[in-house]
Structure 1
């Protein structure tokens, strides 16, 4: 077997990923296998997606959970826990590129990456209005909201999501 040439092109990654039994994220030519999520992580992500779905449908937006990729130019491809896309037109069959909302549910294994690497790349997306970090242990939200001066950080037990004109509360997100 021949060794894989690194860095891998985005096109080669997308072709491989379509056939791969293991989900892998892509960052600047390197692949990173994804860890499985806990039951708590999964329930919180599902609660949030369920809450967003009706509002998204009414506005003609799409809601995705962790199996849909988010492509950030040719630099990165991630699998956000929840993503809302209100951009017009048919989506690519394997990824989206213009979310207005990205949600990551924090876990001990991924929290640092979600707070630094992913945040830095997500905030480069022109379409992004809110990057929402959800801490299931503390039962709190940290929202990075687009403002004229850049992204501003807000913390609390509820968060307003402008692209859906919806306020998400902790009781809804953390209901078990």
Structure 2
């Protein structure tokens, strides 16, 4: 078809090299890079509230908290920029990404909700280090947490969520304070 552009898959290594120089933030999934949309003011305020709440507890435990500019590498298949990421293992293997988070947070928006609920959830739950994956719905003022148990991940919905690696309970009031 005339006017159609064919894209060729690239290796993770090629993506990582390009991403260091790219003026546009892109996530990577199974050979293809995808540009990310900007976030709303509400999205940013909620993510910042959560990161700020996590930060003091993380420092006390020797953990690191990142916001949406730090990459998370999942094997050779995917690289994402979670809205908030907590890592409690020793230093990163690479200054540009982490690989072993204990908690991940995605703030839902109409443009990313389906991706966060399906693709990212499936990929994140492959991480042995992950204790909780938290979806935050600023429109409803609710949390949807996927918590690791010995039997696998269980789904919990509510107005507060426990983050095991930080020994911290996050409330909706703290997250959605404007």
TM over 0.5, shorter chain: yes
TM-score tier by shorter-chain length is over 0.9
Q: 1:95 aligned to 2:97? A: yes
Answer whether contact 2:92 2:98 (CA < 8 A) is retained: no
- The CA RMSD over aligned residues, in Å, is 1.2
Unaligned ranges ≥5, structure 1: none
Identify which of 107, 110, 116 aligns with 1:108.
110
Match of 2:63 in 1: 61
Map 1:5-44; keep pairs closer than 5 Å. Answer: 6-44=8-46
Moved more, 84-93 or 129-138: 84-93
What's the CA shift for 1:89?
Answer: 3.1
1:43-90 deviation line (CA, Å, top 9, x unaligned): 000000000000000000000000000000000000000000001234
Structure 2 stretches lacking a partner, 5+ long:
none
Q: Output one character per residue of 1:8-43: Cα deviation in whole Å (capped at 9) or x when no partner.
A: 100000000000000000000011100000000000
Question: TM-score of the superposition, structure 1-length normalised?
Answer: 0.96
Equivalent residue for 2:145, pick from 131, 143, 146: 143
Q: Deviations over 1:113-157 (max 9, x none)?
A: 100000000000000000000000000000000011110000000
